[in-house]
Structure formats: C-alpha cells, structure tokens
Amino acid sequence: MKRPRRYFSYFLILLTFYIGFGWVFYKSLNPSSPTLENPCIFYSNQCRDDLRWTLYKAIQNASESIDVIMFGLTEPSIIHVLSEKAKEIPVKMFYDAKNTPKLDRLLPHIDATPVKKSGFMHQKILIIDKKIVYVGSANFTKSSLLMHDNMIIGLYSPKIANFLLQKCPYSSGHLNVLHAGQELDFWLLPDPRGNGLNQALKILRRASKSIKIAIFTFTHPDVIQELIQAKKRGVDVTVVIDFGSSLGISQKTRQTLKQENIEVLVNQSNNLLHHKFICVDDKILLTGSANLTKAAFYKNHDCFLILHNLNEPQKKFITTLWKTIISQAK
C-alpha cells in the first residue's frame, strides 16, 4: 500500500506544478486590462507581469483612439502595433524630443509631436479609447519593459482619461476623484506652487507605522527631512535606491539618511531599480513618473498619483513586490 500512496503523492506534486505553470503561462498570454468591473490593476515585471505584452495588447485591442505621452519610446513591437492601429483609428503621440528618435518621421501616419522644454517631458502615460489609463515608471523601451524594475497602474476611468487628454503634456494640474470607492489624487507637474509636493509631505508627516520607498533618483531635501522626522517619532523607514544612482546623484542622500539611522538599501541586481513609489502605513501609495528631485516637481513635465485606502489585493501586490525588491538589495 505504501508504493501507490507514494505514486499518488508524486502525482499531486506534478499536478500542482503543471497547474501553477499553466496559470502563469495563461496570465502572460492574456494580461488583464482595467474594466468597469475591475477598474484598478497593478502591474510589475517583478511580479511576473509582462509589461511589454500588457501594453501591446492594450494598444491592439483599442477600438476608438490611442493617446501616448511618453519620455522614451523605442520598443519595436510597440512602434509596430501603434503604426498598424493608426490605419484604423486616431493615434496621437507626444514624446520628449531629447530622448526619443524623431517618431514623426518614423511614423508618418501618426500625429506625433516632439516636446521641447527646458526640463524633460518625463511622463509615461497611455490612454486607450478615452477611458483606460496606464501610468507608471516604465518607458516604452525594450530595457524598461523587459529588464529594469518598474511598476504600472492601469485605471478604468473616463474622468481621469479626460483630465489627462485636456492637460498633457503641456499643462500642470490636479484631479481628485473617487475611483471605485478609493480616493485618488492625480498630479501633473511641474507644480510651481508646490501643492503636489506639499500633499506628499503631509502624508509622510502623518505616517504612524511605516514608510517604504523604492526610488531611482532621490535628492529632494524636503522629503529627506520628513523621513528623518518620521524616524525620530518611531516610524519604520526603509529606502531602496538604484545601485548606479546611489554612487552618483543620490549618494549624498544615502549618506544623510544613514547618519540618521534610517535603513537605506541599494539594489544589487544587474537591472536598474527604476521604481518611483512610496507606500505609507501599507495603506497609501504614491507612484508615477516623478523621481524624488526638485527637477521632477518644479521643472520637468512629470506626474504622480496618490491612491488612498489600498484594498486587500493591492496591499498583497505591494507586499509581494516589496519583498522582491528587498531580496535584491543590501
């Protein structure tokens, strides 16, 4: 009787493995898109999400219009699907003139406008059919979508889409909405009055348990001071910075925070840690295209959103992502 039981155990193990593998494979081939029923989805290539395929399918499935506001756009498959869709529906694009080739020449059928500003046009936004928005830290480049550590949020919201279509990429602005029962603030930078930064600083000031930051570039003195004060009142503060940035532009920040006994880790993987997110008390998420620098808030055309009262699936996603980030840092 022992041998049949042993075989049955092996069978269960193999069955579990193949079911798990099949689910991951199916998920990669059929990425979820935001819908009215599922209006907010988190994606990260560190959580086994294929960012390139997710965006490719979103563009491919568009039926009315496509709007792209993007710092870097060189990924061939994305350029190809945009070109193909332009034969069917209106496709409009804004891109940073300094960091993306002349797409208006490469894509003659697309309304592609290079943005020339003193600062970067650093936003990373895709709008589908004037109702679905993808926003985050990932550029539409092969390295950003497949290699570097990034996060994107997908939102089903005609109101947010309309706000972005009216404002991007030239205007600043702020939108506060109730999105699927969650308060959401969307800030378009630069913000000369500093209202967006002030809201972020207030959230840090009110932190009572934890502050988790994963950031590519960190130099903003006001944010540094808020973290120091949070540490002094007993908040658990952890910052993870990209390896290259920690040796260069963010080196002084790293040293300052460490002197205040704040845990500062450095990404050790071969990929860029390109995230730009802050999670406060495991219930408020700040993320987008903006690094924690003065240029991001006062000079660049950047953006960030604040999602309040994270629900359980969102908390689970951030917890999983954070564990992965921490495991690759020291």
Instruction: Report how far residue 185's alpha carbon sits from residue 61's, in angstroms, rounded to the nearest whole number.
Output: 28
The 8-class DSSP code of residue 301 comes to: B
Beta-carbon contacts of 215 under 8 Å, excluding residues fewer than 6 positions away, are 239, 240, 241, 242, 250, 273, 275, 276, 277, 278, 291, 292
The span from the CA of 31 to the CA of 60, in Å, is: 12
162 and 140, same domain (yes or no): yes
133 within domain boundaries: yes
Band of pLDDT at residue 181, cut at 50, 70 and 90: very high
DSSP letter string, 197-245:
HHHHHHHHHT-SSEEEEEES-B--HHHHHHHHHHHHTT-EEEEEE-HHH
| C-alpha span between 186 and 94 (Å, rounded) | 19
pLDDT at 24 over 60: no
Residue at 5 is within a domain: no
12 falls within a domain = no
The verdict on 135 and 224 lying in the same domain is no
Does the pLDDT of residue 170 top 80, yes or no? yes
Same domain flag for 214 and 129 = no
Average pLDDT over residues 119-140: 98
- Give residue 65's domain range: 33-167
* 131 and 251 co-located in one domain: no
Q: What are phi and psi of 246, to 5 degrees?
A: -65, -25
104 and 209: one domain? no
pLDDT tens, position by position, 95-104: 999 888 788 7
> Could you tell me if 153 and 261 lie in one domain?
no
Q: What's the confidence (pLDDT) of residue 23?
A: 39
Share of the chain above pLDDT 90, in %: 86
178 and 305 in a common domain: yes
The pLDDT score that the predictor gives to residue 101 is 79
The answer to whether residues 189 and 146 belong to one domain is no
Q: How far apart are CA 155 and CA 163, in angstroms?
A: 13
Distances (CA, A) of 287 to 1, 54, 160: 57, 19, 16
Confidence of residue 29 (pLDDT cuts 50, 70, 90): low
Amino acid at 189: L
- CATH number for the domain harbouring residue 135: 3.30.870.10
Domain tally, the chain = 2
Which one is predicted more confidently, 280 or 1?
Answer: 280
Tokens of 239: 């910052």
270 and 222 inside one domain = yes
Considering the entire predicted model, what is its pTM?
A: 0.91
Q: Which of the listed residues 137, 167, 197 is the one where a domain comes to its end? A: 167
Residue 179 lies in a domain: yes
